[in-house]
Structure 1
Amino acid sequence: MAKPNIKKTNKSIDKFNKIVDASAKVFREKGYKAATLEDIANEVGMLKGSLYYYIEKKDDLLYAVVERPLNEMTENLKAIVNSSDSPSIKLEKALNNHISSFEKYQSELFVWISIEWFKTEFGGEIATVGDEYDHLFRKIVIDGIEKGEFRSDLDPKLMTFAIFGVYNYMQRWYSPENKYSFDEISKQFNAFVLQGVWSKP
Structure 2
Amino acid sequence: MEKHTERVSRKRQIKKEQIYKAALSVFGKYGYRKATLEDIASEFHMTQSGLYRYVQNKRDLYEKAVACGLIEWQRTSASSIENESDPLLQLQNYALTGANYLNENDDLRNVLMNDPSVFPLNTKEDHFAPINRESMSILRDILKRGIEEKRFRNIDLDYATSFLYSVYVMFIIKSYVKPDIGSSEDMLSNSLDILLHGIVNKEK
Letter in 2 for 1:106: R
Paired amino acid for 1:53:
G
Tell me the equivalent position of 1:90.
90
Aligned residues: 173
**Cα distance, 1:52 vs structure 2:** 4.1
Q: How does 1:17-166 map to 2 (within 5 A)?
A: 17-24=21-28, 26-27=31-32, 35=33, 39-41=34-36, 44=39, 51-54=48-51, 55-57=55-57, 58-68=59-69, 70-103=70-103, 104=105, 105-109=108-112, 110-114=116-120, 123=127, 126-152=128-154, 154-166=155-167
Counterpart contact for 1:20–1:61, Cα < 8 Å: yes
Higher relative contact order (CA closer than 8 Å, sequence separation 6+): 1
TM-score, with length taken from structure 1 = 0.65
Distance 1:107 1:159, change over 3 A: farther
Give unmatched runs, 5+ long, in structure 1: 28-34
Cα contact 1:66–1:111 (8 A) shared by 2: no
Q: Structure 2 vs 1, CA of residues 21 and 116 (structure 1 numbering), >3 Å: closer, same or farther?
A: farther
Tell me the TM-score normalised to structure 2 length.
0.65
Question: What secondary structure sits across from 1:149 in the alignment?
Answer: coil
Structure-2 separation of matches of 1:177 and 1:131: 25
Classify 1:147/1:113 alpha carbon distance in 2 versus 1 (closer, same or farther; 3 Å).
same
Query: Which ranges of structure 2 fall in alignment gaps of 5 or more residues?
Result: 1-11
Quick check: 1:187 aligned with 2:162? no
Structure of higher CA gyration radius: 2
Which one-letter code corresponds to 2:75 in the other structure? E
Q: 1:61 to 1:117 in 2, by over 3 A?
A: farther
1:139 offset after TM fit, Å?
0.6
Judge conservation of contact 2:173–2:179 (CA < 8 Å) in 1: no
Shift, 1:80, TM fit: 4.0
